[in-house]
Amino acid sequence: MSGIFGKIRDAYRGPRRKFVWFVTLATAVFLFVWIVGPGNTVIHWIDAALETRRQEKLIEQYKQQNAEMEHRLKMLRNDRDTLEKFAREQFRFAVPGEDVYIVED
């Protein structure tokens, strides 16, 4: 088995095998601590990215709700029929002499 795998095998069995094993172990420990250790790690980066996406979705939802409310407010300010309908439905207002029937779901 020659080639790269043969060279790797020879490095782990050759005269400098202790050094190669030490470098391998040190690299493994470093990678483990970098991925799951305390502080600024890969897991924290992924969590922060997911939280950023959730917050961006919420911002978009709030922008859409805000636009809908702005439209409704504009309609209530400018259209008398819309204002009257809103007052009748929300506050059960009625014109004097008019019968009001309340139907609850």
Q: Which helix (H) or strand (E) holds 78?
A: helix 42-78
Q: Which of 1-10, 26-35, 78-87 has the lowest mean pLDDT?
A: 1-10
Give the orientation angle of helix 17-36 with respect to helix 42-78, to 10 degrees.
20
pTM equals 0.53
pLDDT, tens only, 71-102: 999 988 998 888 888 888 888 778 788 777 77
Distance CA 75, CA 66 (A): 14
pLDDT, tens only, 38-73: 777 888 889 999 999 999 999 999 999 999 999 999
Confidence of residue 1 (pLDDT cuts 50, 70, 90): low
